[in-house]
């Protein structure tokens, strides 16, 4: 097991095993076979191959070999004790054996342990010639001590079968080496759990070929993890090979030398030649299928490497294991490696431990360096490579040198880490490099869809580009659809790539994100065509005229994100000394997001010929163009105004290719005009409390979703919208009329929540064959149109959701409704339990006092997947509230995790209270 000492240093040995033997007895038989078996297992073994030894004193070379070996195998044979050379060798071995890092094992080949200890039988006969020798005493003692050690006896092991006997010795030695090797590198931290996870995934003993990929960013410890697994498992296989740095080696020398290494390692034959990649494939397939092997391919970056080295699974004997480390997940996917494990970075505790071992040669920091160590570890962000490099660099340095080094890291990244990480960047296609730099400099932390919109606005294939970066371990996407993440050092690497082009001239950088640099460039009007992107989260203190004029020289600026103080007062506007119509915006802009835009319209000089996305948040904009001018937005696909209180009307006739429109919290907006928007896909208008007129186009063939909330609309007439899937009109208190054409066959979700004046649903609703959810909570709808029961949901017997109640076909039968009304007359607290289960929909009336027990009984009988509790009268409130109803109704069944509970009142059924 690994040592837990804080200061011990493991001694490294040249040889794993030293074999002591009598040549004329066993050289060409047992010892020869044992040596070959050890070498085939990759166990470095010393054997004295000199057939004739002269004199009594062993050579310096032999003494050095003994001292530089970890284990000793002493092969006692009948004539072993006749050789003074062997006996001197044994004395030296027993001397080293007394040190904890050495271990000796006797092998009793054709003699018994007692014969060696007591010197009788053939061993005693062989030793007689030394009785008068002055060294006889120490030789006799060495023989006695050696024969008393635990070892192997041929006669009692493996039934005397020599091949099995050798196999047993190899197995035991390999096991010892495995435990020692797992602790040789005292600087491995946090590996035990990670190694066990990989071994568990390999499922040793399963009778098939297991391929597992270990992926992660550069410097994360993939190779270290794979090596630890290899060292722990290799003894269990008939052949092993660990091929390192495949990316680098294959680019320099091709793949056939790597094929030769695999064959040479597994077959233990350095004389193998490979004449070409195709020939190498045939050789590997032929040789690997007859032996169980463990192969590690480290730092793979191309599918061709896997095809040449491990091909198909049928190349290998069942029980073999293949481990592949890579930054490129797509390589694993392409090779159909189904087991893919991410390498986890170190947590804070592990990072401190690893850093301390390198910086202080102990487990924890020296007290006075404790806070400085935390700063270093915080910078490293769990990356083992950075931790090791910084720990080794800071070892032996004084306090001031530590502080200088930490200060330097704030502006100059660690070279060793950056060089390692840049390998992944260098492999990217040019357009993916641009996407990566945009993410590193601007989009880290953005929602994925927002980043895609911005990148697509700039002409990139963003969706596939982000996926490529994710597969190459350069970015992460939380939950697959969430925020873009990036390790601090990868972000640092990306920004360093941008900065090192004219490092002292930010105006020549392609991207600007550092506030002070941006303000200097704008204030000095030193912008150039080199700048493509600017993101400035705080432009306070920067004069608007200076800001706008500073942008003028950035002719190739495609992305601009600014935050300026919102809601400029009229008094401040009156003090402006510039004509806002003449202020420039770069015409190359494709994406413009300006929070706090101070002007009442877009500048007259701006030509939005390339603009794809426009976002104005908390802006002072009154209209897009002044004086009725209508410049076309021919490429505009995304438009959003939020908290733009001055905006009164919006005419979108100049944006024929608009796909998404978002209007949120524009308090004074009263009218929106659409003329021709054939590409419109999403329309969202929230909390525009004065919006009365919404002139939707006659046809919106691509429209998929409409979201309206708290508007002043009185009528809503949808045009031809054959692809509409979601229509949410909530809290529109003035809405009295809704027209849904029968062509809306794809509508899935219709929500009219709290549209209090809506009294009926259009008869056409029955033609909405895809409708699954209808929320009419808070409306004054008292009955449903007959056509609703033509819907597929009711015909198939599956539940269709209306509001928070699940209406089933049974509930429309007159006798059931009559019975329900009769039951309510008594005024007892009653709950209607409506169920959807594997056996079909059903409903029950349950008194509140028996609800808990009755519900458990129902769930025991049915595989319940949805439950609606309909509170039929006010008396129920004395028994349950909405919250504790959920808490108290725990059925305790295996299906409990799938149960969804809805609670509402009887008014949703159209059942009038008595």
Measured over the CA atoms of residue 120, residue 126, residue 129 and residue 134, the dihedral's sign is negative
Measured over the CA atoms of residue 62, residue 64, residue 67 and residue 69, the dihedral's sign is negative
Task: State the chain's mean pLDDT as an integer.
Answer: 80
CA–CA gap between residue 302 and residue 550 (Å, rounded): 46
Q: What is the residue whose two structure tokens read 């797992």?
A: 182
pLDDT band of residue 436 (cuts 50, 70, 90) is very high
Concatenated DSSP letters of 825-863: TT---EEEEEEEETTEEEEEEEEGGGHHHHHHHHHHHS-
DSSP 894: T
Q: What is the residue whose two structure tokens read 């930010």?
A: 506
- Are 408 and 331 found together in one domain? no
Domain membership flag for residue 855? yes
- Are 824 and 885 found together in one domain? yes
| 325 Cβ contact list (under 8 Å, min separation 6) | 213, 214, 215, 222, 223, 225, 226, 296, 297, 298, 299, 300
Structure tokens at 448: 């994925």
- Are 53 and 161 found together in one domain? yes
Note the pLDDT tens digit of each residue in 216-273: 888 888 888 998 888 888 878 888 899 998 998 998 889 999 999 999 888 877 888 8
Q: What is the residue whose two structure tokens read 């994360």?
A: 220
| 624 Cβ contact list (under 8 Å, min separation 6) | 601, 602, 650, 651, 654
List, in sequence order, every residue forming a beta bridge with 120; answer none if it has no partner. Answer: none
Structure tokens at 815: 């006798």
Residues 566-603 as b/e (b if ≥16 CB within 10 A, e otherwise) read bebeeeeeeeeeeebeebebbebbbbbbbbbbbbbbbb
Instruction: Determine the length of the chain.
Output: 914
- Are 332 and 368 found together in one domain? no
- Are 200 and 323 found together in one domain? yes
pLDDT band of residue 488 (cuts 50, 70, 90) is confident
Note the pLDDT tens digit of each residue in 521-564: 988 888 899 999 999 988 777 777 788 888 888 999 999 999 98
Note the pLDDT tens digit of each residue in 786-842: 666 565 544 444 444 444 333 433 344 444 444 444 434 444 445 555 554 445 445
Domain membership flag for residue 829? yes
- Are 368 and 446 found together in one domain? no
Q: Give the DSSP H or E segment for 833.
A: strand 830-837
What's the confidence (pLDDT) of residue 824?
A: 41
Last residue of a domain, one of 179, 213, 240: 179
Among 428, 430, 207, which residue's Cα sits nearest to residue 320?
207
Note the pLDDT tens digit of each residue in 851-882: 566 656 655 555 544 454 554 444 444 444 44
What CATH number is associated with residue 99? 3.40.50.10140
DSSP 276: S
The answer to whether 233 and 294 have CB atoms below 8 angstroms apart is yes
CA–CA gap between residue 418 and residue 814 (Å, rounded): 76
pLDDT band of residue 92 (cuts 50, 70, 90) is very high
Q: Range of 463's domain?
A: 417-499
Domain membership flag for residue 518? no
The answer to whether 33 and 63 have CB atoms below 8 angstroms apart is no
- Are 43 and 192 found together in one domain? no
- Are 156 and 270 found together in one domain? no
Question: Count of domains in the chain?
Answer: 5
What's the confidence (pLDDT) of residue 373?
A: 86
- Are 433 and 361 found together in one domain? no
Q: What is the residue whose two structure tokens read 């969706």?
A: 463
Structure tokens at 681: 């896909």
- Are 212 and 121 found together in one domain? no
Tell me the mean pLDDT in the region 64-81.
93
CA–CA gap between residue 119 and residue 126 (Å, rounded): 9
Q: Give the DSSP H or E segment for 243.
A: strand 239-243
CA–CA gap between residue 247 and residue 564 (Å, rounded): 48
DSSP 699: B
Domain membership flag for residue 784? no
Domain membership flag for residue 694? no
The answer to whether 75 and 109 have CB atoms below 8 angstroms apart is yes
What's the confidence (pLDDT) of residue 26?
A: 84
Concatenated DSSP letters of 715-753: EEE--B-TT--EEEEES-TT--EEE--TT-TT--EEE-T
- Lowest-confidence region among 62-76, 154-168, 300-314: 154-168
CA–CA gap between residue 821 and residue 828 (Å, rounded): 12
Concatenated DSSP letters of 230-281: HHHHGGGSSEEEEE--HHHHHHHH-SHHHHHHHHHHHHT-TT----SHHHHH
What's the confidence (pLDDT) of residue 41?
A: 79
Domain membership flag for residue 68? yes
CA–CA gap between residue 481 and residue 460 (Å, rounded): 19
The answer to whether 729 and 716 have CB atoms below 8 angstroms apart is yes
CA distances from 55 to 75, 85, 94, 111 (A): 21, 8, 21, 26
CA–CA gap between residue 562 and residue 435 (Å, rounded): 20
What's the confidence (pLDDT) of residue 901?
A: 42
* Alpha helix positions (H), 669-718: none
- Are 117 and 242 found together in one domain? no
Measured over the CA atoms of residue 719, residue 720, residue 722 and residue 723, the dihedral's sign is negative
pLDDT band of residue 7 (cuts 50, 70, 90) is very low
The answer to whether 615 and 559 have CB atoms below 8 angstroms apart is no
The answer to whether 647 and 622 have CB atoms below 8 angstroms apart is yes
List, in sequence order, every residue forming a beta bridge with 866; answer none if it has no partner. Answer: 836, 900
Domain membership flag for residue 301? yes
CA–CA gap between residue 854 and residue 833 (Å, rounded): 10
Indicate if the pLDDT at residue 178 is higher than 70.
Answer: no
Tell me the mean pLDDT in the region 86-102.
91
Concatenated DSSP letters of 106-125: EEESSS-HHHHHHT-HHHHH
Query: What does the radius of gyration of the chain's CA atoms come to, in whole angstroms?
Result: 39
Indicate if the pLDDT at residue 172 is higher than 70.
Answer: yes
What CATH number is associated with residue 262? 3.40.50.300
CA–CA gap between residue 296 and residue 245 (Å, rounded): 11
Last residue of a domain, one of 146, 162, 179: 179
Pairing mode, strands 682-686 and 705-709: parallel
- Are 366 and 382 found together in one domain? yes
The answer to whether 340 and 332 have CB atoms below 8 angstroms apart is yes
Domain membership flag for residue 841? yes
Last residue of a domain, one of 342, 359, 388: 342
Residues 654-682 as b/e (b if ≥16 CB within 10 A, e otherwise) read bbbbbbbbbbbbbeebbebebeebebbbb
Q: Give the DSSP H or E segment for 25.
A: helix 23-26
CA–CA gap between residue 679 and residue 701 (Å, rounded): 7
Q: Which residues are catalytic?
A: 89
């Amino acid at each position: 097991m690994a040592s837990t000492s804080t200061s011990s240093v493991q001694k490294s040995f040249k040889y794993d095993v030293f074999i002591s033997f009598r040549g004329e007895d066993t050289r060409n038989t047992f010892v020869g076979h044992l040596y070959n078996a050890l070498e085939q297992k990759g166990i470095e073994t010393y054997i004295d191959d000199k057939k004739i030894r002269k004199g009594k004193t062993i050579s310096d070379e032999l003494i050095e070999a003994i001292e530089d070996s970890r284990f000793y195998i002493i092969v006692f044979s009948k004539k072993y004790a006749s050789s003074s050379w062997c006996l001197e060798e044994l004395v030296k071995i027993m001397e080293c054996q007394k040190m904890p890092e050495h271990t000796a094992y006797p092998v009793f080949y054709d003699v018994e342990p007692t014969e060696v200890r007591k010197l009788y039988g053939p061993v005693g006969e062989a030793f007689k010639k030394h009785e008068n020798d002055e060294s006889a005493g120490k030789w006799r003692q060495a023989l006695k001590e050696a024969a008393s050690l635990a070892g192997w006896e041929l006669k009692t092991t493996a039934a005397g079968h020599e091949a099995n006997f050798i196999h047993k010795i190899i197995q035991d030695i390999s096991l010892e080496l495995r435990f020692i090797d797992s602790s040789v590198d005292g600087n491995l931290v946090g590996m035990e759990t990670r190694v066990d996870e990989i071994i568990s995934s390999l499922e040793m003993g399963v009778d098939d070929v297991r391929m597992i990929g270990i992926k992660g960013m550069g410097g994360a410890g993939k190779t270290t993890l794979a090596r630890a697994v290899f060292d722990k498992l290799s003894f269990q296989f008939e052949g092993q090979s660990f091929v390192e740095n495949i990316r680098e080696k294959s680019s320099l020398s091709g793949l056939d030398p790597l094929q030769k290494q695999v064959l040479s390692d597994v077959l233990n034959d350095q004389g193998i030649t490979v004449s070409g990649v195709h020939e190498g494939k045939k050789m590997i397939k032929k040789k690997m299928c007859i032996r169980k092997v463990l192969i590690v391919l480290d730092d793979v970056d191309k599918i061709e490497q896997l095809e040449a080295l491990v091909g198909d699974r049928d190349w290998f004997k069942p029980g073999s294991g293949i481990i592949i480390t890579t930054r490129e997940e797509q390589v694993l996917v392409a090779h159909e490696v189904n087991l893919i494990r991410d390498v986890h970075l170190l947590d804070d505790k592990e990072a401190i431990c690893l850093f301390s071992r390198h910086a202080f040669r102990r487990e924890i920091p020296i007290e006075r360096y404790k806070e400085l160590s935390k700063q270093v570890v915080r910078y490293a962000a769990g990356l083992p490579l950075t931790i090791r490099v910084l720990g080794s660099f800071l070892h032996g340095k004084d306090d001031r040198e530590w502080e200088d080094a930490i200060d330097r890291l704030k502006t100059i990244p660690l070279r060793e880490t950056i060089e390692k990480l840049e390998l992944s960047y260098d492999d990217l296609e040019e357009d993916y490099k641009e996407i990566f730099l945009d993410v590193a400099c601007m989009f880290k932390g953005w929602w994925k869809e927002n980043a895609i919109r911005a990148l697509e606005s700039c002409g990139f294939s963003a969706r596939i580009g982000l996926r490529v970066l994710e597969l190459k371990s350069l970015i992460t996407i939380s939950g697959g659809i969430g925020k873009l993440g990036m390790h601090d050092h990868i972000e640092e690497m990306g920004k360093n790539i941008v900065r090192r082009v004219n490092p002292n001239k930010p105006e020549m950088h392609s991207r600007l994100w550092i506030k002070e640099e941006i303000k200097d460039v704008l204030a000095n009007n030193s912008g150039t065509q080199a700048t493509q992107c600017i993101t400035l989260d705080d432009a306070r203190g920067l004069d608007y005229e200076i800001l706008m004029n500073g942008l003028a020289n950035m002719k190739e600026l495609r992305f601009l994100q600014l935050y300026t103080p919102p809601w400029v007062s009229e008094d401040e506007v009156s003090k402006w000394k510039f004509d806002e119509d003449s202020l420039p915006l770069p015409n190359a802009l494709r994406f413009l997001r300006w929070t706090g835009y101070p002007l009442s319209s877009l500048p007259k000089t701006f030509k939005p010929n390339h603009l794809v996305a426009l976002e104005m948040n908390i802006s002072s904009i009154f209209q897009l163009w002044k004086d009725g001018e209508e410049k076309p937005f021919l490429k505009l696909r995304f438009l959003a105004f939020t908290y733009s209180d001055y905006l009164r009307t919006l005419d979108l006739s100049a944006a024929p290719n608009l796909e998404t429109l978002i209007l949120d919290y524009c308090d004074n907006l009263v009218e929106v005009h659409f003329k021709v928007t054939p590409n419109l896909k999403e329309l969202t208008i929230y909390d525009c409390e004065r919006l009365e007129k919404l002139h939707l186009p006659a046809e919106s063939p691509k429209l998929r979703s409409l979201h309206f909330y708290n508007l002043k609309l009185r009528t809503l007439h949808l045009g031809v919208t054959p692809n509409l899937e979601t229509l949410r009109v909530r809290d529109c208190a003035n809405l009295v009329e809704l027209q849904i054409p029968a062509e809306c066959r794809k509508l899935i979700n219709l929500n009219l929540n709290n549209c209090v004046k809506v009294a009926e649903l259009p008869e056409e609703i029955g033609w909405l064959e895809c409708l699954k959810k209808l929320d009419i909570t808070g409306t004054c709808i008292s009955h449903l149109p007959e056509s609703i029961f033509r819907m597929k949901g009711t015909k198939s017997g599956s539940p269709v959701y209306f509001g928070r109640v699940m209406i089933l076909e049974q509930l429309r039968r007159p006798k059931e409704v009559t019975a329900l009304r009769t039951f309510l007359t008594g005024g007892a607290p009653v709950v209607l339990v409506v169920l959807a289960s594997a056996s079909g929909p059903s409903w029950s009336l349950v008194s509140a006092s028996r609800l808990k027990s009755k519900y458990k009984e129902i769930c025991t009988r049915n595989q319940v997947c949805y439950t609606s509790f309909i509170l039929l009268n006010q008396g129920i409130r004395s028994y349950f509230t909405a919250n504790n109803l959920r808490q108290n109704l725990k059925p305790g069944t295996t299906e409990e995790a799938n149960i969804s509970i809805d609670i509402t009142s009887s008014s949703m059924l159209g059942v009038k209270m008595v």
